[in-house]
Structures are given as C-alpha cells and as structure tokens.
Amino acid sequence: MTDSRSTIRRRGLFAVATAGLFAPTVLRAQTGWPERPIRMIVPWPPGGSVDTVTRIIQPRLQEVLGKPVIIDNRGGASGSIGAIEASRAAPDGDTWIMVYDTQATNESVMKLPFRTMEAFTPVSLIATGPLAMVTHHTTSYRSFADVIAAAKAAPDTVNYATSGVGGLAHVSTTLLQQQGGFRMVHVPYRGAGPATQDAVAGHVPLFMTNLPAVAQHLKSGLLRPLGVTTRGESRHVPGTPAFAQQGFGDFEALTWWAMLGRAGTPAPITARMHAALAQVLSEPAVRSKVEEQGADVVASTPEECGRFLAAEIDRWGAVIRKAGITADS
C-alpha cells in the first residue's frame, strides 16, 4: 500500500476507534433525521462485492439510525445506472449510494450526465483490498506466467472476465498486458455476481476481480489465484505472489468501497450518517465480517474520502485515456 493510502488507513482506524465513543452523543444531538426509511442504492446486482459489503453493514446501520435501511440493487453499465439514479435523488438524506472503484473510472470511460465530485458528497471510504486474477481449478494455468505464455503464443485468444467495462479490474489488466507485451480478450459482465457464476462453472478461464466476490470459492479450491494487485503478498490470499513480484515492477491497483450522499445534503445529516457508519465499522463483529471477504476496513473521514476519490479519478482517468478504453472496449 502506498504511503498516502497507509496514512488514510491509519487516520481512518483512529476515527473508527473514537467514533465508537462519540457517535451516540452525536446521534442524540441531531434530531429530525431520519424521519423515513433510508434508501441505499447498490449499483450492482446481488452477489457482487458492493452488495456483500452493504449487506454486512446494513443490519447494524439501521439499528443505530433507528430507521429501516432498504437496499435497492440497480445494476448495469458498470455501476453507472445506479449512480445516475442516485445523482437525481433529492438532497434530503433519504437516498445514499454504496460505490466502488468504477465510480472513479466510469466518467473517463463513458459519457455520463454527472461528474462524481460535483454530484455527490463523500461520507466514508469504507475499505480497500487487492484484486486477484483467478482461474478455474481444472484449467492448465498454474501461474500467471502460464497465462502470459499462452497469450503470447496465440494473441487475442485467451479470455478473461471482469465485472464490467472500465472498472479497475479491466483497466489494471490492460496495464498488465501493456507492460508484459501480451494480449488477451476482455469479457465484461453486468457485475461480479454473474461473472463469478461463470468463473465457478468454468465457462470463462480467467477472472480478474476483488476478493469478496470469490473468497469462498478460493477457500473451497474451486478457483485458483494466480496473482494479486498489492505491491507485495496479501494476507487475504497467502502464498499468492503479487504481480509486482512477477516481473511487473511496482505495479499496484487497490480496489475500494465507499459510501456517498447526494451533493447538497445538509451537513448535519451527512455528519450523522458518517457517525453512524463509523460506529458500525468500529464493531469487531462487523469489521471481521468485512475483512473475512478480503478487504481492509479504513472507515475514513468524509474529507479523506473526498481526497482519495478525486485522486483515483485523476490517476485512472489518465490511464484510461492513454489506453483508449471506452464503453465499447
């Protein structure tokens, strides 16, 4: 993890620890919200990592807030359909959205009716984690070197799946191909859930994904990990070398999950949602469930989340433009 991300994580962990002490006071001090059930848009189908992380948090979040938190899955177009829906919501605190790395890449890949930093207000960077290239246990790929050899021997014949066009899994695999001098065929799905189903069934030989989508299948041995996108070996996939350790320099691409609200939401409401979320993420039972999925809880402040998101948009936007990645890639 880079120094800046390590700093965010250290500060976030401190914020989580202190939030457990002060959040109840903050929640009692703010009255009047929420008055109605809260809608949490998940811009992906059920079964993917965003849905999984949200469903871990949701039961305790609604208990802390005192109102139902209703998960609204709005999948499609790499998370952009749900994001468009959220961008049109009234800024009254009734609608929030749970996003991950495609929120930073979509506006560089496709034409959207909003800009993330203008349409949304950050609440918290919830967690970060590695991506992993995995393969079905019946394939002949025993290492990522085997994949490279096959792709070089027959360019544009080796298929790999991702949760959608322009997401970090797609963009980072594009970078690996550029750096390694080989070419594969991208097979985008409408979310990690459907892609995982096909990967587990052996319908697609390779799958670049975040760990929550495949953690149980790695443990069972149905899927075999070939590399991770952290700088070094990840504690979540022990024994699996990082791509940086397989001849790809200082390669790193961390996936992440964050909660955002509608821009213009009154600051006291955003503060109350952040305090509630920080309280939930400080609880050992919730933290352990999130981290069991292959993610590291960050629980940042809204300001840190905003800086992180802006930096990710700039960083991956430059990569996308250079590689010429579009929604039709």
Instruction: Express each pLDDT in 230-288 by its tens digit.
Output: 999 999 999 999 999 999 999 999 999 999 999 999 999 999 999 999 999 999 999 99
Instruction: Express each pLDDT in 130-156 by its tens digit.
Output: 999 999 999 999 999 999 999 999 999
Taking residues 190-203, report their average pLDDT. Answer: 92
pLDDT of residue 64: 98
Q: What are phi and psi of 66, to 5 degrees?
A: 80, 15
pLDDT of residue 6: 53
CB contact set of 136 (below 8 Å; sequence gap of 6+): 199, 200, 202, 205, 222, 223, 224
This model's pTM is above 0.85: no
Same domain, 17 and 113: yes
Taking residues 215-232, report their average pLDDT. Answer: 95
What's the domain range around 57? Answer: 3-129+253-323
Higher per-residue confidence, 201 vs 293 = 201
- The number of folded domains in the chain is 2
Taking residues 309-317, report their average pLDDT. Answer: 93
Instruction: Map tokens 């991300």 to a residue.
Output: 5
Same domain, 11 and 144: no
Same domain, 264 and 186: no
pLDDT of residue 28: 39
- d(CA 25, CA 19) in angstroms, rounded, equals 10
- Whether 200 maps to a domain, the answer reads yes
Domain boundary among 227, 246, 265: 246
Instruction: Express each pLDDT in 157-190 by its tens digit.
Output: 999 999 888 889 999 999 999 999 999 999 999 8
Q: What percent of the chain has pLDDT over 90?
A: 77
Picking from 131, 55, 65, the residue whose alpha carbon sits closest to that of residue 98 is 55
Same domain, 145 and 222: yes
Domain boundary among 223, 246, 269: 246
Same domain, 99 and 147: no
Same domain, 19 and 47: yes
Asked if residue 48 has pLDDT above 90, the reply is: no
Helix (H) or strand (E) holding 224: strand 223-228
CATH number at residue 148: 3.40.190.10
Same domain, 60 and 142: no
pLDDT of residue 319: 86
Instruction: Express each pLDDT in 57-102 by its tens digit.
Output: 999 999 999 999 999 999 888 899 999 999 999 999 999 999 999 9
Domain boundary among 191, 212, 246: 246
Same domain, 222 and 298: no
- Whether 328 maps to a domain, the answer reads no
- Whether 102 maps to a domain, the answer reads yes
CATH number at residue 7: 3.40.190.150
Same domain, 67 and 85: yes
Same domain, 118 and 141: no
- Whether 329 maps to a domain, the answer reads no
| Average pLDDT over all residues of the chain | 90
Same domain, 211 and 280: no
- d(CA 173, CA 192) in angstroms, rounded, equals 16
Angle, vertex CA 134, rays to CA 128 and CA 139, nearest 5: 175
pLDDT of residue 196: 94
Instruction: Express each pLDDT in 8-46 by its tens digit.
Output: 555 555 544 454 444 443 443 445 899 999 999 999 988
Same domain, 113 and 257: yes
Instruction: Express each pLDDT in 273-292 by its tens digit.
Output: 999 999 999 999 999 999 99
